Amino acid sequence: MKLDAAGARRGIEERVAKPLGVSLIEAVWGIHDLINETMAAAAKTHIAERGGNPQLVTVAAFGGAGPVHAFGLARKLGAPRMLVPPNAGVGSATGFFTAPRAFDLMRSHKVPFAAADFAKLEALLRELEAEGERTLRKAGATGPVSYARSIEARFIGQGSETTLPVPERDFTLLDAQALRRRFDQAYERLYGRTYPESSVEFVSFRVRASLPVKLLELPKIVAQGRASDALKGERKAFCGAAREYVPHAVYDRYRLPAGAELAGPAIFEERESTVIVGAGAARGWTISASCGWTCRRRRRMKRRLDPITLEILWRRLISIVDEADAAVARTAFSSLLRDAHDYTCMFTDSRGRELAQGTLATPGQSGAMALGIKQLVQALPPGAFKPGDVYITNDPWALAGHLNDVCVLSPIFHRGRLVAFTACILHHSDIGGRVASDNREVYEEGLFIPLVKLYDEGQLNEGVLAMICANVRTPSR
pLDDT (tens digit per residue) in 187-229: 998 888 888 889 999 999 999 999 887 777 766 666 677 888 8
Question: What's the predicted TM-score (pTM) here?
Answer: 0.66
Asked whether residue 95 is domain-assigned, the answer is no
Which of 234, 265, 293 is a domain's end point? 293
Using alpha carbons, select from 317, 318, 339, 316 the residue that is nearest to residue 328: 339
Q: What total number of domains does the chain contain? A: 3
Q: Tell me which residue range forms the domain holding 387.
A: 332-470
pLDDT > 90? residue 184: yes
| DSSP letter (8 states) at residue 65 | S
Asked whether residue 289 is domain-assigned, the answer is yes
One domain for residues 390 and 437: yes
Q: What is the CATH number of the domain that holds 164?
A: 3.30.1490
One domain for residues 105 and 184: yes
Q: What angle do CA 195, 471, 389 make, to 5 degrees?
A: 55
Q: How far apart are CA 274 and CA 356, in angstroms?
A: 36
Q: pLDDT band for position 289 (50/70/90)?
A: very low
pLDDT > 50? residue 284: no
pLDDT (tens digit per residue) in 292-327: 444 444 444 445 567 777 777 888 888 888 888 888
Q: pLDDT band for position 280 (50/70/90)?
A: low
Q: Are 133 and 144 in contact (CB under 8 A)?
A: no
Q: What angle do CA 177, 183, 185 make, to 5 degrees?
A: 105
Asked whether residue 150 is domain-assigned, the answer is yes
For residue 18, report the phi and psi dihedrals to the nearest 5 degrees. Answer: -65, -45
Q: How far apart are the two ends of the chain, measured CA to CA in Å?
A: 60
One domain for residues 177 and 231: no
Helix (H, G, I), strand (E, B) or coil at 26: helix
